Amino acid sequence: MPSVKVGLSRDDLVMRAGVVLLAGLLLVMVGLPLWSLLAKGFQDQDGRFVGLTNYVSYFSTPALFNSALNSLHVAAVSTVIVVPLAFLYAYALTRTVLPLRWLFQGISLIPIFAPSLLPGLALIYLFGTQGFFKALLGGGSIYGFDGIVIAQVFYCFPHATLILVTALATADARLYEAADALGASKLRVFFTVTLPGAKYGLISAALVVFTLVMTDFGIAKVIGGNFNVLATDVYKQVIGQQNFSMGAVVGMVLLAPAALAFVVDRLVQRKQVALLTARAVPLVPTPKPGRDFLATLFCTVVAIGILAILGMAIWGSLIKYWPYNLSLTLDNYDFAKVDANGWDSYWNSVEMAVGAAFFGTALTFTGAWLTEKTRGFYAMRSVVQLLAFLPMAVPGLVLGLGYIFFFNAPGNPLGFLYATMGILMVNTVAHFYTVGHLTATTALKQIDPEFESVSASLKVPIWRTFGRVTAPICLPSILDIAIYLFVNAMTTVSSVIFLYAPDTKLASVAAVNIEEAGTTAAAAALCVVIVLTSAAVKIVHLLADRFLLDRLQAWRRR
């Protein structure tokens, strides 16, 4: 009997068409802008091909090349400081009996809600030319290398802590029981059981911190002084000198270490194995007064440091005229006095963040669903996966610069987006796409494929199953993606610094401009407003998790 060839079902065709459309969208959002940036580095100001001339000029200019060395130096030192601090803090949260654990965990997340320039502004109030504790520097200056490192420690600490809390939370109590039975000392257990179990988390945390420091713009702009780094060099070449070709070259140099760190992280993650098996016994910390006291003391000191920087920024925003008139006022929150946009910049940020959250969440979750649930079509799905992971390795400044060259190119039919709120939303979603994609993929992998099989057998269209089954089951993850995009859209500086128009200026960008004009108090006030907005949205999210989703997801406990 001849074999019968079964064609693709209507659902399969719809899914494949969706994957092709997704690939096209990601190509426009990520791939083509980066290609335009790469091409610009081989052209002169008039668009003529000049080969490697721009790169030769860059590496033969000592001031520019030294910026790359400065960036590497700052990133390395910051990583060496942040990772051990975050590891000890995460260890205290997960492996000791810590009073008010929820409070310490919440305080550690505060820097996530702030633009990166906030710690720089706070340090100016503390140790600047007229700082509160200027005398402690012994004639030194906070502007430059030291200031950047201190501010980066504040900014990067929560990112490393989140990774390491996850790494340390998965531990098998049987390993520690066996070590105790064999009479191993606590120090030996730490180096032979605890550290090896968390090594992949430590490597990931180090690479994340290194990349964040290398690519951050806000801190170096505010407190860098004459200490140039790659991020500020890109800004100076593009905004200061209008040298787009050299800006593209510096952008590609900035991309290299970030991309390398991402590749190393991916290779390390492939070697990671499950630490918690079906027979594992979860490790529950037991009270030990000496250890618990030291852990509490350490967490208290770190928490005070975080609150001191945030508190200093808040106080500075409420002072009439630092340091001569320390009486309190709300005049610094009248942004119309220092910026033509006034409060409009803040409302622009809210509008952009809400738009990015809705558009980005719909795109990332639907895109992950298409990639995960489409049968066959391996080549196109692999292209989508590559484009979905690419933004993680691309600094915001580099992506923003690529958007200039691509969307502003003559003849581009998408040029109508340039200098609009739309391009800011698209850029923000593209910049933070990878984390949302990974979150959605993780949630979708937890759903039994039998749901789709049963739906297919009952002739239920797959998009109806998506709307009635898949999306409701994954609702907590969908909200997590939305909040992640909203907070990052409110706080981002580097990815949008090149793309705003006078009527679409964002609060984070306005804060940079206001600080650049010398009105530090107003810049601090705008940063405080961003922090309060981001924190308020996160609190609403937590309440929704606690009350609303607790009811909607009640079936999980049956």
Do 25 and 363 touch, CB atoms closer than 8 A?
A: yes
62: which 2 tokens?
A: 């000592």
Write the pLDDT tens digit of every residue in 345-376: 999 999 999 999 999 999 999 999 888 888 77
Q: Are 339 and 513 in contact (CB under 8 A)?
A: yes
Which among 106, 35, 551 has a CA at the least distance from the CA of 310? 106
Structure token digits, residue 534:
């981001």
CATH value at residue 285 = 1.10.3720.10
pLDDT of 248 reads 87
Q: What is the mean pLDDT of residues 410-434?
A: 92
Answer yes or no: is 2 within a domain: no
Residue 434 lies in a domain: yes
Amino acid of residue 234: V
With respect to residue 73, please indicate whether it lies within any of the assigned structural domains.
yes
CB 86 within 8 A of CB 161: yes
CA proximity to 255, closest of 204, 214, 220: 214
Report whether 488 contacts 79 (CB < 8 A).
no
Q: Please, are residues 344 and 472 in contact by the beta-carbon 8 Å criterion? A: no
How many domains would you assign to the chain? Answer: 1
Residue 397 has pLDDT above 70, yes or no: yes
Is residue 5 situated within a structural domain?
no
Q: Which strand (E) or helix (H) includes residue 152?
A: helix 145-169
Flag whether 440 is in a domain: yes
**For all residues of the chain together, what is the average pLDDT?**
84
pLDDT in tens, 149-186: 999 999 999 999 988 888 787 666 666 667 667 666 67
Mind listing the pLDDT tens digit for each residue in 207-263? 889 988 988 888 998 898 889 898 888 888 888 778 888 888 888 888 888 788 777
Quote the pLDDT of residue 4. 41
Residue 269's domain spans which residues?
10-556
pLDDT for position 451:
62
pLDDT tens-digit series, residues 41-88:
898 887 888 888 888 888 888 888 888 899 999 999 999 999 999 999
Residue-level pLDDT at 1: 43
Tokens 């509160």 found at:
132
Residue 413 in any domain: the answer is yes
Determine the average pLDDT of the residues in 91-100: 88
Helix (H) or strand (E) holding 510: helix 507-516
- Is residue 441, in this structure, part of any structural domain at all? yes
Report percent pLDDT > 70 for the chain. 88
172: phi then psi, degrees, rounded to nearest 5? -95, 115
Q: What is the mean pLDDT of residues 109-136?
A: 87
Instruction: Point out which residues pair with 43 in neighbouring strands.
Output: 49
* 402 pLDDT higher than 80: yes
pLDDT score recorded for residue 278: 44
Tell me whether residue 514 is in a domain. Answer: yes
